[in-house]
Amino acid sequence: MTIISRRDFLRVGAVGLAGAGLVHKGASAEEQFTFAVINDTHIKDAPSVEIVDEAVASINSDERVQFTSVLGDVATDGKEDELALAKGAFDNLDKPYFVVPGNHDVFPQATDIYANYVDAFGPVHWTRTENDWTFIGMNSCEETKSDVTVSDEELAWLQAQLDKTTPQQPIALFCHHPMNPNTRAYRILNADDVLALFANHNLKIVAAGHWHGNQIEEQDGVLFVTTACCATTRNNFDNTPEKGYRLFHLSGERVETEFVVVRA
């Protein structure tokens, strides 16, 4: 993975586009692989679905995309009707999609705060392997808190997934709350404990939402990103107007990422 320059990092914040490592020129089409991430749609009613429908149509129009990872806060208050609206929108994706919960997707009034989410989207964490990569979706939520500590139970689940993964296999980790070393806010309080689990593994990407803004940095060979929200019910925390989703282009272990604007 090529380290992006400080100038390119700032350019990401300004216009939402940068590469973190280039797809090498000799790579065949079979070796190249693209997936999308979208986060913080904060759906609460039918009008708030419209921007998500636009994003879904844009992703569907890109034949390179093999799957989409949805990084939490699909809803506003974790209500059944909000989650049903979100599911209806994401079900229009032509390719598979996989969701992790955000703090706005839990319903604290219920005995099981994840019941509404699970009814709509299934398990709060998951693993899949494709194109010689392992993709792990982790539950980073601690009830409805914005500043969170990942639970011991979730750490144990994550360790169990790593125990099934060879040390050489490249890994992309998805969760709602950021682990960027220099995120402007909301870094998972025990992020270093989470990352320590990967000490003997080939972690390449950590993608998150929650902080509504494009942040990209590389540390010790790992690309950390957050992405602007794709919502009309919320603004970006960095005060940028662009709403959209992110693409990751993989070629072997090389990674290129770009932010796709849906509305500005």
Q: Is 164 inside any structural domain?
A: yes
How many structural domains does the chain have?
1
6 pLDDT above the threshold of 90: no
Q: Per-residue pLDDT tens for 213-226? A: 999 999 999 999 99
Residue 212 Cα distances to 48, 134, 201, 249, angstroms = 17, 26, 29, 22
Rounded to an integer, what distance in angstroms lies between the CA atom of residue 150 and that of residue 13? Answer: 28
Query: Residue 138: its pLDDT value, please?
Result: 98
Q: Is 244 inside any structural domain?
A: yes
Give the structural domain span for 52.
Answer: 6-22+32-263
Which tokens sit at 217? 């940095």
Q: Per-residue pLDDT tens for 197-254? A: 999 999 999 999 999 999 999 999 999 999 999 999 999 999 999 999 999 999 999 9
Q: Is 27 inside any structural domain?
A: no
pTM as predicted: 0.89
Q: Is 1 inside any structural domain?
A: no
Of 10-14, 41-45, 60-64, 192-196, the poorest mean pLDDT is in 10-14
Q: Which of the four pLDDT bands, split at 50, 70 and 90, describes residue 144?
A: very high
